[in-house]
Amino acid sequence: MRERFVEAAEVVVKALTNERFEHQGRFFQIPETSIRPRPFSHPERRLYGAAVSPDTAERMAKLGLGVLVAIPLYGWDAQAKDVQRHNEIIRRMGREPVPPIVSSFVYCAETEKEAREGARQHMGGYWGAADAHYHFSDGHLKNVKGYEHYGVIADNAKTATPEQSVDGFVSLQVAGTPDQCLEQIYSMKDKVGFDHFIAVFSYGGMPAELVQRNMRLFAAEVMPKLQREEPQAVPVTATAGAAALRVEV
């Protein structure tokens, strides 16, 4: 329920920002209290909220949170408009917006053919499982307050074959040879202006040895080039299951 999420986020920000706080809302009633141990820095200035629709991007702005584009589900031009709208709201509130963070599936392979086939199989596997769970394609979310935007996915599904739906989802992620992956990341950056990229290497039932090959090739061939391209520097966090690798580039 969106209203519950928004109020919970308000409580978290209050708790991190103030030495003592209280909250009397629709869902939560909290008497004056404080959290222990207190944060020694200012984590409330570094909070991001996942935004996968225009509605959530706007809500993140009103909460004072940065935007996390988490596994994009619709086109990058539309994502860019959401980020622009978010930044406009933040500026009207008297603050300067922070650059967004982008999280994307990555399939990095020696050849384009291998990358495309692997991405279709495993990103497609993820997409199929997510659609089976959330029922994006049947259109029921059109009538759920706060989730109306997901009706766009249902409308697209009516005119697309399952293969076209998978290809559309893959096209929003990063898949290809190392040079192609680098080019795709920079293209995303040009659209939304992010300064941190989270690369997800394990998804859709991918075998462990394939996850490792995917991650190792990306780390060997893509990240060094990101590190050298100072004008287009993009910090990268690489994740594969429980493993995580964060590289400032």
Q: Point out which residues pair with 175 in neighbouring strands.
A: 107
Residue-level pLDDT at 229: 65
Strands 29-33, 48-50: pairing is unpaired
pLDDT value of residue 208: 97
- Answer whether 50's CB lies under 8 Å from 33's CB: no
**pLDDT (0 to 100) of residue 59:** 80
Residue ranges covered by each domain of the chain:
1-44, 102-247
Question: Comparing C-alpha atoms, which of 6, 108, 137 is closest to residue 64?
Answer: 6
pLDDT value, residue 5: 84
Q: Is 106 helix (H, G, I), strand (E, B) or coil?
A: strand
CA separation for the pair 20, 23 (Å, rounded): 11
Tell me the pTM: 0.81
Q: Do the beta carbons of residue 56 and residue 49 sit within 8 Å? A: yes
State the pLDDT at residue 235.
Answer: 58
| Mean pLDDT per 10-residue segment, the chain (249 residues) | 85 92 96 91 84 74 87 86 90 90 96 97 91 73 66 65 88 96 95 92 96 97 80 54 39
